[in-house]
Amino acid sequence: MSTYQLAVLAGDGIGPEVMAQAHKVLDAVEQKFGLNFQRTDYPVGGYAIDLHGEALPAATLKGCEEADAILFGSIGGPKWDTLPLEQRPERAALLTLRSHFDLFSNLRPAKIYPGLADLSPLRKDIAESGFDVLVVRELTSGIYFGQPKGLSGEGEEEYAFDTMRYSKKEIRRIAVSAFEAAQKRNNKVTSVDKANVLVCSRLWREITEEVAKDYPEVELEHIYIDNAAMQLLKDPAQFDVMLCSNLFGDIISDECAMITGSMGLLASASMNSDGFGLYEPAGGSAPDIAGQNIANPIAQILSAAMLLRYSLNETAAADAIENAVVATLEAGVLTGELLSAEERHKAASTDTVGDYVVQQL
């Protein structure tokens, strides 16, 4: 029996209640596939601030270090929004975890599920032409972490500055992630940049071209970020893998998530080169609906599936979870936000969806 250590960081808002559903699913997978997930809960985010005065306590970080992977819920909420920026949950916990574990490769799949095209904010004919994109975002460099960063000067001439910075090595490894992923999908990488303005983007293009030579079966296209933001609306079906730097990936992945119209179904993975990773839903902590048993647990369940696939290499178990999710969606066992106003009375609760996924396993 394979045994794995998982650090579970449920966090704030709807985090704990959707995490409870992921636990049920992992319990069922343990039985079915003879696996053993030793899970330890650690406080993070606003909850950790309230308990220990900081969003990422040392014990939480240590627990993550000892684990094979991190299953993350969601963090933040109005209660902690008045704190100084550096102490707020999103920054203090998420950005620190990314950088501490060198989680440079962020995979954010976004697709319109069959039958759910009506949820997309795009025009019916465009949404129905299909949308299935994997955003591969660089997560530990670029303008998020580049130095120097700060303030200088006096009076009205005082200025702020941030540095966007990418080394060849950093570009190469994320480009490899994108091409590897494209090989398992539709063999197309669209690299998003602003090479007509940024030196970083020019190096990005150069290295991406080099990496492409090792993947002759994968088509490489370059697109400017401004044009990408447009093409995603006009003809989203043209994309397969979108390779982005940290800042551009932040924008493009959220645009992609919104195009699906079903953020509650989207999971993401943030990995380093040892296969260690953090897995989390794409949506936020949604404090407004927390504790009501109405939040969609699918993104959290699919985050667990990504964890099995990418950090534990338990492909069969990951497939089983993803199939169970598809069966649940096809059976119409849906939380309220996926239903039209007229159908909302048929909404399934958070628990019911979790239980239904378990039954499909």
Ligand X SMILES: CC(C)[C@H](C(=O)O)[C@@H](O)C(=O)O
Among 48, 49, 75, 122, binds a second copy (CB under 8 A): 122
Minimum Å distance from CB 243 to ligand X? 16
- Which one of 4, 194, 215, 279 is the catalytic residue? 194
How far apart CA 247 and CA 139 sit, in angstroms, is: 9
For residue 160, which of 173, 151, 168 has the smallest C-alpha distance? 151
Find which of ligand X, a second copy, none residue 111 binds, CB within 5 to 8 Å per kind.
none
Catalytic (active site) residue 144: yes
For residue 271, which of 144, 139, 146 has the smallest C-alpha distance? 139
Q: Is 5 annotated as a binding residue?
A: no
Q: Is 214 annotated as a binding residue?
A: no
How far apart CA 310 and CA 280 sit, in angstroms, is: 13
245, two tokens: 């730097």
Q: Applying CB under 6 A, what is the total number of residues that bind ligand X?
A: 8
130 binds a second copy (CB under 8 A): no
How far apart CA 75 and CA 176 sit, in angstroms, is: 30
Residues 62-91 that bind ligand X (CB under 6 A): 90-91
Q: Is 343 annotated as a binding residue?
A: no
Minimum Å distance from CB 282 to a second copy? 11
How far apart CA 72 and CA 60 sit, in angstroms, is: 12
Four-point Cα dihedral 126, 218, 105, 245, nearest 10: -70
DSSP 214-236: T-TTSEEEEEEHHHHHHHHHH-G
Phi-psi region of 313 (alpha: psi -120 to 50; beta: other; left: phi over 0): left
- Which one of 42, 47, 113, 144 is the catalytic residue? 144
Q: Which is nearer to a second copy, 244 or 325 (CB)?
A: 244
Among 8, 14, 94, 266, binds ligand X (CB under 6 A): 94
Catalytic (active site) residue 254: yes
Catalytic (active site) residue 162: no
For residue 6, which of 65, 59, 67 has the smallest C-alpha distance? 67
Among 1, 58, 151, 341, binds a second copy (CB under 8 A): 151
- Which one of 193, 250, 310, 356 is the catalytic residue? 250
Phi-psi region of 341 (alpha: psi -120 to 50; beta: other; left: phi over 0): alpha
In sequence order, which residues have a C-beta less than 8 Å from that of residue 26 and are 6 or more positions away? 6, 37, 39, 304
Q: Which is nearer to ligand X, 198 or 212 (CB)?
A: 198
199 binds a second copy (CB under 8 A): yes
Specify the length of the chain in residues.
361
Among 86, 196, 216, 274, binds ligand X (CB under 6 A): 196
How far apart CA 230 and CA 39 sit, in angstroms, is: 43
Catalytic (active site) residue 42: no
Check if the beta carbon of residue 329 is closer than 8 Å to that of residue 116.
Answer: yes
Catalytic (active site) residue 274: no
Q: Is 77 annotated as a binding residue?
A: yes
214 binds ligand X (CB under 6 A): no
Q: Which is nearer to ligand X, 26 or 75 (CB)?
A: 75
Beta-sheet strands, E only, within 209-342? 219-224, 241-244, 267-271, 277-281
197 binds ligand X (CB under 6 A): yes
Binding site per annotation, positions for substrate = 98, 108, 137, 226
Please report, as ranges, the residues that interact with ligand X according to CB under 6 A: 90-91, 94-95, 196-197, 226, 250
Write out the catalytic residue numbers.
144, 194, 226, 250, 254
Please report, as ranges, the residues that interact with a second copy according to CB under 8 A: 85, 88, 90-91, 95, 120-124, 126-127, 143-144, 146, 149-151, 153, 155-170, 172, 194-200, 202-204, 225-227, 229-230, 233-234, 247, 250-255, 257-259
Binding site per annotation, positions for NAD(+) = 77-90, 284-296
